[in-house]
Amino acid sequence: MRIALAQLDYTVGDLDGNAVKILDAYRRACTRGAELVVFSELAVCGYPPRDLLLKQSFVSDTKAALENIARGMSVVPAIVGYVDSNEEKTGRPFRNAAAFIEGGQVRQRIWKTLLPTYDVFDEDRYFEPAASVELVQCGEVQLAVTICEDIWNQETFWSGQEDRSGQPLYQRDPLKELCEAGAEIIVNISASPFMLGKERLRHDLLTAVVQHYQRPLVYVNQVGGNDELIFDGNSMALDAQGQLLAHSRAFEEDLVIVDTNAGRPVYFHAQCEEEALYHALVLGLRDYAGKCGFKGLVLGLSGGIDSAVVGALAAAAVGPRNVIGVSMPSRFSSDHSKSDAEQLARNLGIRYMTIPIEPAHKAFQEMLGHAFAGMKPDATEENIQARVRGVILMALSNKFGNMLITTGNKSEMATGYCTLYGDMCGGLAVISDVPKTMIYRLARWMNREHEIIPAGSITKPPSAELRPNQTDQDSLPPYDQLDRILKAYVEEHSSAMEIIASGEPEPVVRDVVRRVDVNEYKRKQAPPGLKVSGRAFGIGRRMPIAQRYTEANLKRNE
C-alpha cells in the first residue's frame, strides 16, 4: 500500500488554519499517488490543547472542523487525529481519537487506549480510554490504528512502561490485541515531544515492535513548537522485517510517500546531540514567537556565552533584522565583555544598542541610601543592577513590540543563580533546560565552520560582573561537577545519598541539593522554557514551594 506520511506543524486551537494545512497536504499526497494519507495525533486542534478542552464550544467546534475536512477529501482514505466526545454516562468527557475518512465521510472512529500521565502528559485529566480495540478496513488491508502511547507499552522492548515503584503503568497492550485480531499494517499517529536521545529511542522501539509482530509499521509524528514542547517530527515507516523504508526530515514539515510492499530500505541517520539541540531550540523559539504574534525578539548581550548562544538562536529563528541585542554595561563590566557583545552582533548582523545602566544604578543607590544607612553592600545592590537591566529590556520590548527572551541556562535556574525581575524577565526562557556544559558544546558546534560565537565568550571564566573580579565559581562548584549532580538529582531522581555514594563530595552535593530545593519559588515565577531534556523545570516537574522536606539535611543511615 502506498501511504503518505503527512508531518505538519499545527497551532493549538487554530481549527481553520490546521484544516487548511491538512487539506493541502492531502491533495498533494493524492497527486503523488497515495492510497492512504496519515496525519498526526489531535491534528485538527493541535497538541496539546490542555484546558481549551474545557471550553464549552471547543470540542464541538473541533468535531465540526473534522466534518468539514472530511467533506474536502476525495475517494482516497485518510486518518486524522481529533478530539471526540465521550457519549457514555460515566467517565471523563472526551476521547483522544482518530477518524478514518473515506469518500468524504468519517467512516470509523478509533479511540486512544493508553493515556499517559507522567512528565508533561496529563491526558487522564480529560480523556476516557477505549474499552476495546477494533481494526480498520482500508481497501483489502486490515489496519491496526494506534495513537501515540498505545504503541509504547511493548514488553519486547522493555519490561512494560514502568514508574518509580517498578510497576507497569498499563494493564493492557492494545497493539498486541489488534495484531492478534488480524492486523496487517500497524499505523501509529503521534504527538511525541522532543528530548535529547528521543530520535534513536523511537527508532529502536519501532524496530522492536515490527520485529516482534512481523508487520509493516507507519509512524506519523507532529512537528513544531507549542508552548514549552517541541515536536521533532522524524516520522518513519518500516517493513515487516524492521528495515527502514522512509524517514521524514527532522524539525521540518514534510510529506513522504512510502510503499509498504515494494519500498527500498533507507539509512537511519540520527543527528548528533548538538545539531539536534540547535534545531530544536530554533524551531521552539520561532514557533513560540510566531504563534504568540511576535515578529521580532530582544535580548540583553553581556558578552558571555549564554547570551551569545541565545542571540545566535534568535537570529536563526526570526532573522537577524528582527533581533535587537542590547549591551547594558555597568562600572563592573569588563572591556572584553563589551567588545565580545559588539562582535557577536556584527557576526550575526542583528541590530545592536548600548545603554549604560550606571545612571539608573546610581539613582537607586541614592534613593535607598537612607533606608540602607549603616548596612554593608551585599547581593541587594548587585541585584539592583540586574533589575535595572530588566526594566530597560522590558521598555524596549514594549516600545518596539519585540518579545524579550531570557538567557539563563539550566544550571543557573536549578541553583537560583538568577535574579527575579532582573535577568529572569521575559516571555520565553530559551535555554532554561540546557546545562552550562552543554551550552559550551553547542557554541563550539555553532562555530564548526566559522566564528559565530566570539572566542572570548567561550574561553573566559563565566561571570555575572555585578562586583569587581566576580566569577560564577565564587558561588557555584565547577560547572562540569555541578551539572553531573543536577542531572542525577533533577533528571534521574537520585537521592543525595546516592549521588554522594557515586563519588561526588558530600559538602558539594548537600549545597547543590539545598539550592535546588529552596529556589523553587524563583522557578515558579520564571517564563516558560523550551523542554529538551527528560526532566525540565516547568509543567513536567511539580514541586511544592511551601514545604520543609529537603535531602540536604538528611543524615546517613549508619
Active-site amino acid positions: 41, 112, 148
Dump strand ranges (E) for 227-311.
229-232, 236-238, 244-247, 254-259, 297-300
Amino acid at 203: H
Nearest to 189, CA basis, from 237, 230, 226, 133? 237
Q: Is the separation of the CB atoms in 182 and 214 below 8 Å?
A: no
Q: Give the chain's count of helices (H) and strands (E).
A: 16, 19
Nearest to 119, CA basis, from 541, 492, 410, 488? 541
Contacts of 448 (CB under 8 A, 6+ apart): none
Residue 217 to residue 189: CA distance in whole angstroms: 11
Count of positions (residues) in the chain: 558
Q: Is the peptide bond before 48 cis (omega within 30 degrees of 0)?
A: yes
DSSP state letters, 515-558? HHHHTHHHHHTSPPB---SSS-SBTTB---SS----GGGPPP--
Q: Is the separation of the CB atoms in 255 and 4 below 8 Å?
A: yes
Q: Phi first, then psi: give them for residue 383, nearest 5 degrees.
A: -70, -25
The burial class, CB within 10 Å (0-12 / 13-18 / 19+), for 420 is middle
Nearest to 310, CA basis, from 319, 322, 299? 299
CA distances from residue 343 to 168, 234, 425 in whole angstroms, order as listed: 54, 36, 24
Contacts of 488 (CB under 8 A, 6+ apart): 494, 498, 499, 502
